[in-house]
Amino acid sequence: MRPKSVLILFAIVVALLAFIWFYERQLPSSDERGELAKKALRFERGEIDAIEIELEGERLRLTRVPADVASEEDEGSLGFFEDEWRLEEPLQARADAALVNGLLDALDALETARELEGMGSAEAGLDAPRASLVLSSDTGDQELVVGSEVPASETMIVRVDEGQPLVVSNALWESLSHPAGDWRSKDLYLGERDAIESVTLRSATATVQLVRKGDSFWLEEPVADRADEEKVSELLGSLVGLRVHEFIDDPEAPLADMGLDPVFATVEVGATGGSEVFQLEWGAPTSAEATRHFARLGDQVFETAGPFAEYLSSGPESWRSLALTTFETHQIDSIRVLDDQGELTLQRAGADWVRDDERISFTAVSDLLYALVEARAARVEGSGEIGGNRVASGDTDIEITLSDGERQEILSLEPLPEGGWAASSSEREAILVLDGAVSGEIGQKLRAVRAAEPLGTGDPGPATENLENSGDESQG
């Protein structure tokens, strides 16, 4: 045989073997085939577009809406990142994703225990079924009809399409037999936390508006000031975690008795782009001792629990930040101090700091950074006013400039007659009153930085021994 013919035959054999190998890789193993044979229903859950359930004479229809479509069609879903299920009949509302996924899990896990050949539909309870379910997809529909329970067992009889009656576990019944109202989503705000741009709390006594600026929130109304970071974080967490405890479809009590006509207060949320996507009307407590409140979203009245009564009753002053600086310790790369001892400059240099022209250990500077960043005021006063005495511009005792290389913040500190300091920041139009303990801590750490011994060439100090391998995490 010619060498050329041998090569051609060899190539054909190799191609055939490769085809067989790739083809068989796609085939299920014998164990997988056995598992598939047991399944009562076969479907790809990502391809299911709709679910219809007939239960006790009531028809329920659920439809799947892809995440991108849900975000475009429904402002309330702004920032939602998964496919969404909607309840279309007999009510129109978002569906409870946990219940829908639980039903699909139960259907996917439904296995045939045995077939009942020769059993009539009436005998199996399939002529007057307890329930029926239809799964719809682009490839067609599958119908599951639920008949009688099998006595003295944990099984029931079903039929798939027009097939033989099957005995399956009755565990499916728990996922299938919810009344229509239970299929509604109990999650109230479905947007992403990071997409929230503003929150407005309106009550009869005050309006508080919080607006995101960069990575933090600021008060816009009734005063312009930096907002308390921890309190805003708790508020956002309460929003995204808010759930319905009980739907009230036909209120027996007048809306006025529920605090919903007129409403006690409202919570308005604006998301990315500035559009208002969520407005919650907050009503009265459900009883004198209850932690639940009546509330309304759109036309739906329900009971819910959350700390909004506390947030709404908080005075605007309670939302103002008590933090001295807007910086975090790791962000600060340079410090400039002007006080009665003259000018002092500090510059981050690897794991150490350079004070004026000499290198010092990071420890003393780290302590000063923490004292500044962790400092909290006893109270916040109006712009430029401390107990009726205006802070004189340019007459401060200490001026500290913090910088990250792109942004800088100037802190002005001066002593008060009653003790402590009056502090102002170039980032805010407010005066912070620091008590004696806080101001004393800052003063002590500042003096320690001035007194820190320079690092000698023979003694690199603990901060510079591993300078080449040090990172920002070792710094204050």
The stretch 101-130 carries a mean pLDDT of: 88
Q: Is the pLDDT of residue 447 over 90?
A: yes
Q: What is the per-residue pLDDT for 2?
A: 64
Count CB neighbours of 219 within 10 A: 22
Q: Model confidence at 377, in pLDDT bands (50, 70, 90)?
A: very high
Amino acid type, 384: G
Written as six digits, the tokens of 470 are 């040090």
pLDDT tens for each residue of 387-403:
434 344 445 689 999 99
- Report which of residues 467 and 202 the model is more confident about: 202
Report the alpha-carbon angle 294-295-296, nearest 5.
Answer: 140
User: What band does 25 get if pLDDT is binned at 50, 70 and 90?
Assistant: low
What pTM value is reported for the model?
Answer: 0.70
The SS3 call for residue 374 is coil
Q: Please compute the mean of the pLDDT values over residues 322-329 and round it to a whole number.
A: 92
* Amino acid at the residue 420: G
Please report the pLDDT score of residue 275 as a whole number: 55
Position 1 scores a pLDDT of 57
- Using an 8 Å Cβ cutoff, are 442 and 372 in contact? yes
pLDDT number for residue 388: 39
Q: Is the pLDDT of residue 144 over 80?
A: yes
Confidence of residue 122 (pLDDT cuts 50, 70, 90): confident
- Please tell me the predicted confidence (pLDDT) of residue 316: 83
Task: Provide the total of helices (H) and of strands (E) in the chain, helices listed first.
Answer: 10, 29
Q: Which residue has the higher pLDDT, 323 or 204?
A: 323
State the Cα–Cα distance between residues 137 and 47, nearest whole angstrom: 6
pLDDT confidence band for 82 (50 / 70 / 90): low
- pLDDT over 60 at 464, yes or no: no
Q: How far apart are CA 348 and CA 454, in angstroms?
A: 14
Using the predicted structure, report yes or no on whether residue 203 has a pLDDT greater than 70: yes
21-41 CB burial, b ≥16 within 10 A, e <16: eeeeeeeeeeeeeeeeeeebb
Query: What is the Cα 364 distance to its own chain's centre?
Result: 38
116 pLDDT band (50/70/90 cuts)?
confident
281 and 260 Cβ atoms separated by less than 8 Å: yes
Backbone φ and ψ of 135, nearest 5° = -100, 125
Q: Is the peptide bond before 316 cis (omega within 30 degrees of 0)?
A: no
Torsion sign, CA atoms 76, 78, 80, 85 = positive
Query: What tens digit of pLDDT does each residue of 206-259 get?
Result: 899 999 988 889 999 888 899 999 999 999 999 989 999 999 988 888 999 999
Q: What is the pLDDT of residue 463?
A: 40
CA pair distance 181, 202, nearest whole angstrom: 30
Kindly state the percentage of the chain with pLDDT values over 70: 81
For 249, the 3-state DSSP assignment is coil
pLDDT for residue 276 is more than 60: no
- Quick: pLDDT tens for 277-302: 789 999 999 887 778 899 999 888 99
Write down the pLDDT at residue 23: 52
Domains in the chain: ranges and CATH: 37-183 (no CATH), 193-319 (no CATH), 329-474 (3.30.1490)
- Packing angle between helix 362-373 and helix 436-451, nearest 10 degrees? 160
Residue 312 has pLDDT above 60, yes or no: yes
